[in-house]
Structure 1
Amino acid sequence: MGWRRAVLAGAWLLLAALAGCATRPAAPPGPPPADTRAEIARRIPARVDDRSGWANDIQVAFAAQRIAPNVENICAVLAVIEQESGYVADPVVANLPRVARAEIDRRASALHVPQLLVDAALRLSSTDGRSYGERLAAVRTERELSELYEDMIGRVPMGGRLFSGRNPVQTGGAMQVSIGFAAASAQGYPYTVQGSIRDEVFSRRGGLYFGIAHLLGYETPYTRKVHRFADYNAGWYASRNAAFQAAVTEATGIALALDGDLLVPGAPLDRPGSTERAVRTLSPQLGLDERAIRRALERGDRLDFGDGDLSTRVFGLAEAAARRPLPRARIPDIRLDSPKITRELTTAWFAERVDARYRDCLRR
């Protein structure tokens, strides 16, 4: 995970914590659970093993989170599962031993740890009797790699130093959900936790529960599901915020990265990021000073940002300059940077692939 993904993981964790503190509205009466399970199972591809088991876990997650089990929500979840794992609770990752060893070597190099010490640490016996190096060479899934890292962090000083006491595996499960997000969203989890929330993410039931929370557990202003799918990859409201950045560019003539990041985390008021600097050039027309602009941008992770004074006025200026209405949502321009990805992919690629699967599910 690159720096941007680490920032997004922290933002999701905060959003999940805030959501967990709020009282969920009472769900409207829905169909009987058995009918919901039957509808979900009917829309899961026939090639999938244990369709009834997948349907049951999805139905429980919908009920626990008070998410309407309508066809659109069902198909949105199934589309993400199919894209992220192909209906495998703990999917195999290609070339995972090589990717993991490269990450260990990268961290060692950054900390100026000699390769000889790394090799010596990997020759030590782990808790299952094999050496850490043997276990590393045999890992096939993120769950196995996560368990290896947990063992190293807990028992080997070199492991604690390389990983700073934090497991590098930060996503997992059938929907590849952030483990930090899951930990912050655990309130109301309908199952008895076996081990830890991290362990639950790698189970089918936990991966689905927390993945569904990340996909559908917040309100959006979108009229198309593809923007929610982009948010699943880039962070809540990234599609709404990318459209705002495009409007700022239209109004100011200042080219911006349309990535959905409105603020640089922790930036002092006198050293703002590029989007904030561009918005400040509009201060006289907006009738907002630097502090008011900062306060408004800080709400970029909330639904009401789109109806606030800053967004409304920026779009007004942009549409006057463009002489046409501008979209309120667009897929962010982000290149995916996970070490698991071996080719150049983008958030647009992800969102469009999921959207195609979603539409196939609606037709099924």
Structure 2
Amino acid sequence: MSRHLLLYLLLGSLSACTTVAPPPISTTPAPASTPAVSSPTPTAASAPPPVVPVPQPPQPPVSTSKPVLNEAQGRALLDRLLPPRISDRQGWNNDIVTAFTALKIPYRADNFCAVAAVIEQESSWQADPTVPNLPAIVWEKIGERANKYLVPLPVVKAALLKTSPNGKSYKARIDNLRTEREMNLLFEDMSAEASKLGLPMNMKNPIRTGGPMQVSVEFAEAHVKIWPYPYQSGNSIRNDVFTRRGGIYFGSAILLQYPAPYQDMIYRFADFNAGRYSSRNAALQAAISQLTGRKLALDGDLLSYTGKQASGSTYQALLSLRSRLDMSQSAIERDLQQEKNSALAQTELYRKVFALADRQAGKPLARERMPQIDLHSPKISRKLTTQWFADKVNGRYQACMARQ
């Protein structure tokens, strides 16, 4: 078997195991969650790719009599909120408070509990969460690709007996994989040996998420370009994502460091899973669906492109409303391009759609709605949705808030 084909099988298989954002499913039981917004039956959809708007710390509630806490008070509050029996409790406290300080996120119970709930759901308070049956998942994917090219799996395994940079064979490392961090290091070693293995020198690492909050590597690498990173990066920002302090820092940023127009934290949890502003966008899709009578996937994905041409069912539905909106096609497309930013809510399109929909409904419609997205990954063995994720995290959040 050619060396190039072997590595193609391995790289493709690793990519197949890690291309979907949803992380290992925690086996820790969650408290009963509060009811989510009722919504239609889930429709299959892909979560939108991570984007990085300019970070803006969440603002405190407009009306509050509570004083702003200093760092020492924040640490004391967080200590009361953390679960009682977690390993290295002080270390978790320190990394969360350091992240909040650097990101300028207020020390408040709701913010602390939001981060704690995501950590508990995504990793059960493990700094480097394990993925159940990870070697079996990887070998299954390698086997599927090998069969496609009529290459027996034993032949592939024999070829992978080649020694890797850490002194172990690639086969032994796959057999003993436990975490995404280990998968990431495996790929990094292969990348370092690219010339020896006959691989492209500019190949991309397919491992996309990691750490105790399962944060996107792409988000982290973009975030440090526009916001000061508080730590000295040891190897790379990519590798920092797989550490506790880096994972908490970037996870806190993507969860909380943007202004969201939500009355309930559960919609931030949905956005964490589906992409920023997905809950706001799903509400806009529901309003468009009501106005047009068209059934739209309420997935928060407002605009896509076929080549350079704007497309998507939401976009097409809006074009049918041009006369009622008194907007041109180019103006509609212009406003939809703000779908991943807070600015969408200030656009002419957003205001006019909700004005028409509110009038038609005879009452103000919700400006937030649970995105209806099915989650797909080799690591997921049952039907899960963004609503399932948001509900589970929200249950943990409510339990944390009760510890005040």
Distance, in Å, in 1 between the alignment partners of 2:204 and 2:47 is 12
Q: Which amino acid aligns with 2:132?
A: A
TM-score scaled by length of structure 2: 0.81
Q: Which amino acid aligns with 1:361?
A: C
Corresponding residue of 1:233: 273
1:1-364 aligned at under 5 Å gives the runs: 1-2=19-20, 7-9=48-50, 12=51, 15-16=52-53, 18-19=54-55, 30-105=68-143, 112=149, 114=151, 118-155=156-193, 165-186=203-224, 187-265=227-305, 267-269=307-309, 272-364=311-403
SS in 1 for 2:183: helix
The CA RMSD measured in Å over matched residues stands at 2.8
Runs of 4+ in 1 over 6 A off after TM superposition: 24-27, 157-160
C-alpha displacement of 1:163: 12
Instruction: Structure 1: give runs of 5+ residues left out of the alignment.
Output: none
Check conservation: 1:67, 1:216, Cα contact below 8 A: yes
Check conservation: 1:267, 1:273, Cα contact below 8 A: no
Check conservation: 2:302, 2:315, Cα contact below 8 A: yes
Deviation readout 1:32-85 (Å, 9 max, x if unpaired) = 322211211221111101111111111111111111011110111111111111
C-alpha displacement of 1:104: 3.9
Q: Judging changes above 3 Å, is the alpha-carbon distance between structure 1 residues 333 and 296 closer, same or farther for their aligned structure 2 residues?
A: same
SS in 1 for 2:381: coil
Distance, in Å, in 1 between the alignment partners of 2:305 and 2:257 is 24
Q: Which amino acid aligns with 2:334?
A: R
Distance, in Å, in 2 between the alignment partners of 1:259 and 1:51 is 37
TM-score scaled by length of structure 1: 0.89
Q: Which amino acid aligns with 1:226?
A: I
Distance, in Å, in 1 between the alignment partners of 2:98 and 2:312 is 42
Q: Judging changes above 3 Å, is the alpha-carbon distance between structure 1 residues 157 and 97 closer, same or farther for their aligned structure 2 residues?
A: farther
Distance, in Å, in 2 between the alignment partners of 1:265 and 1:105 is 34
Distance, in Å, in 2 between the alignment partners of 1:162 and 1:99 is 25
C-alpha displacement of 1:153: 2.9
In terms of fraction of residues, the more helix-rich structure is 1
Q: Which amino acid aligns with 1:236?
A: R
Check conservation: 1:41, 1:54, Cα contact below 8 A: no
Q: Which amino acid aligns with 2:337?
A: E
Instruction: Structure 2: give runs of 5+ residues left out of the alignment.
Output: 1-18, 22-44, 61-66
Which range is displaced more, 323-332 or 209-218? 323-332
Q: Percent identity?
A: 45
Q: Judging changes above 3 Å, is the alpha-carbon distance between structure 1 residues 264 and 256 closer, same or farther for their aligned structure 2 residues?
A: same
Distance, in Å, in 1 between the alignment partners of 2:347 and 2:131 is 43
Q: Which amino acid aligns with 2:256?
A: L
Check conservation: 1:26, 1:66, Cα contact below 8 A: no
The number of equivalent residue pairs is 354
C-alpha displacement of 1:267: 4.8
C-alpha displacement of 1:268: 3.3
C-alpha displacement of 1:328: 0.5
Distance, in Å, in 1 between the alignment partners of 2:92 and 2:202 is 36
Check conservation: 2:121, 2:392, Cα contact below 8 A: yes
SS in 2 for 1:8: coil
Q: Judging changes above 3 Å, is the alpha-carbon distance between structure 1 residues 308 and 158 closer, same or farther for their aligned structure 2 residues?
A: farther
SS in 1 for 2:206: coil
